[in-house]
A and B are shown apart, each in its own frame.
Chain A
Amino acid sequence: MSKAMAVKSSREKLRINDLHAFYGESHILHGIDMSVNQGELVTLLGRNGSGRSTTLRAIMNMVGKRTGSIVINGQETLDMPAHKIAHLGMGFCPEERGIFSSLNVEENLMLPPRVRSDGMSVEEIYEMFPNLAERRKSQGTRLSGGEQQMLAMARILRTGANILLLDEITEGLAPVIVQKLAEILRKLKERGLTIVLVEQNFHFAAPIADRHYLMEHGHMVDEIKAHEIGAKTDLLNTYLGV
């Protein structure tokens, strides 16, 4: 392996090659290729049904069947049981937020086991999300949409996960909350966390992302670096209608 390649692979946190994913008989992903380096924030853009959420769920082994290759922190995970993938440093925040109604805020926060030793402390989390501190004894599902989203993110930050998969975190939230989430993502980037963000709100994702993958009908149609956005506006218009 050349020196340049070795440096590249040591920074590479996630590499996906020729990934196919199925829900029962339905073939959803058709040979996805992508990679994410340490400290990068990469978005998956596309219309509803383009396969962005399925890509995240396939990474976490939450779909019916997968073929191809998914390497996380240098380890092939295609045949790995779902519960072991989290322990490679993965944190997944699902589109529906996944707040457990039978648990209060603090129980939700403390629920996932630590996957790495350097997770945020509860105090740090409450400092980052002060609303959660005030409502720590409330049932999780009694929170507002924005608070639930913050809880879903806080929950994986406490585990020490350093690769975050965030699915539509701004969906249905007020602009002021969306702004707050953008600030939080910037802070997480500064801490060196690696983030894969599925997002429909291009105006939210564009200023904070390093690269964008464009998806359509389960295929990866293009990769756009942050500085290329201006030059590829037509392409974005075609696939996203922005």
Chain B
Amino acid sequence: MATIFDINLFALFGQLLVGLINGSFYALLALGLAIIFGLLKIINFSQGALYMLGAFAAWIGLNYLGISYWWALVLVPLAVGAFGILMERTLIRPIANEDHLYSLLLTFGIALILQGLFSHGFGSSGLSYPMPEALRGGTRLSFMYLPNYRAWIIVFSLLVCAGTWFMIEKTRLGAYLRAGTENPQLMQAFGINVPLLVTLTYGFGVGLAGLAGVLAAPVYTVSPDMGANILIVVFAIVVIGGMGSIGGAILTGLAMGIVEGLTKYFYPEASNTVIFLVMVLVLMVKPVGLFGKEA
């Protein structure tokens, strides 16, 4: 067994890998939350439930409609995004000008309803989703065994995050989004259809949660409470990165996954709380978050 300074390298890298995978999910979910908060100023508490919806949609697609994992990867984010657009148009828009607390409570209520519906329909014990054929097995590296599907999650999530960051920071559409965040009324006066932009952004942010759900289905148990478990951690990550900061959400998501993985190796008892500890420290030192901008 490879060891350095009494550290079991296989175990350490194994936990780092798990941390990176968790970090990938954190980054995808936090990215969606940051986009939605950045542009719409909505604290979307239903993001976890929509992640769960994505995983269930993939499971239902496979078992009832014969939709493969690869098609689910394309279709489910679109379907969850469309559901998000419907939510935004019918429920969120009417309270768009109210205090943030209203949208927080509304989306929290939506999350509870979705969770309850899926518990009622599928039970709470969880369902398994088979690993796609092409990604079974793994690669034995000198310091660890790397399962293919887990490597795929990391690479694919990073590509999605990088693509989203590029779209927001480097394209004209992204400039509209960033400017719309700052002064939506002036953007309207310039001739930009801001309500449409808001709807599509919400749909995109929610679609990211759906995508994370599909990615998670083969590695985690598909269960109604899978979103609730991850959501609080993701919110802590968005706070650490800086509410509304796109790059902050991605980097912090990955970093916190790794911190969690390292803690699991060195001091497992603290692994569930380490992210919240970091959040407290960041809030004490830099209340706007590591990448947040002062108002």
Contact = CB atoms under 8 A, between A and B. Distances in A.
B181 A83 contact: no
B175 A113 contact: no
B179 A86 contact: no
A94 B175 contact: no
A213 interface: no
Contact of B192 (A98, A102, A113): A113
Contacts of B172: 110
A85 B194 CA distance: 13
Given A103-B175, A103-B178, A111-B179, A98 B186 contact: yes
B192 A83 contact: yes
B183 interface: yes
The main secondary structure of chain B at its interface with chain A is helix
B273 interface: no
Interface string B172-201: 100110110111011011111110000000
Contact of B178 (A62, A94, A102): A102
B192 A103 contact: no
Given A100-B182, A100-B183, A101-B182, A82 B189 contact: yes
Q: Which of B176, B178, B179, B193 has the most CB of A within 10 A?
A: B179
The main secondary structure of chain A at its interface with chain B is loop
Interface of A: 60-62, 81-87, 90, 92, 94, 98, 100-103, 107, 110-113, 115, 159
Interface string B122-137: 0000000000000000
Interface of B: 172, 175-176, 178-179, 181-183, 185-186, 188-194
Given A102-B178, A103-B179, A107-B175, A115 B191 contact: yes
16 contacts: A82-B188, A83-B190, A83-B193, A86-B189, A86-B190, A87-B191, A92-B186, A92-B189, A94-B189, A98-B183, A100-B178, A100-B179, A103-B175, A107-B175, A110-B172, A115-B191
Nearest to B185: A62
B181 A102 contact: yes
Contacts of B178: 100, 102-103
Nearest to A62: B185
Given A62-B188, A86-B191, A111-B175, 14 more contacts: A62-B189, A81-B188, A83-B192, A84-B191, A85-B191, A100-B179, A101-B182, A103-B179, A107-B175, A110-B175, A111-B176, A111-B179, A113-B192, A115-B191
Given A100-B182, A100-B183, A60 B175 contact: no
Nearest to B182: A100
Nearest to A102: B178
Contacts of A110: 172, 175
Contact of A112 (B181, B182, B185, B190): B190
A85 B189 CA distance: 7
Q: Which of B178, B188, B190 has the most CB of A within 10 A?
A: B190
B179 A102 contact: yes
Given A100-B178, A107-B175, A112 B191 contact: yes
Contact of A83 (B175, B179, B183, B194): B194
Nearest to B194: A83
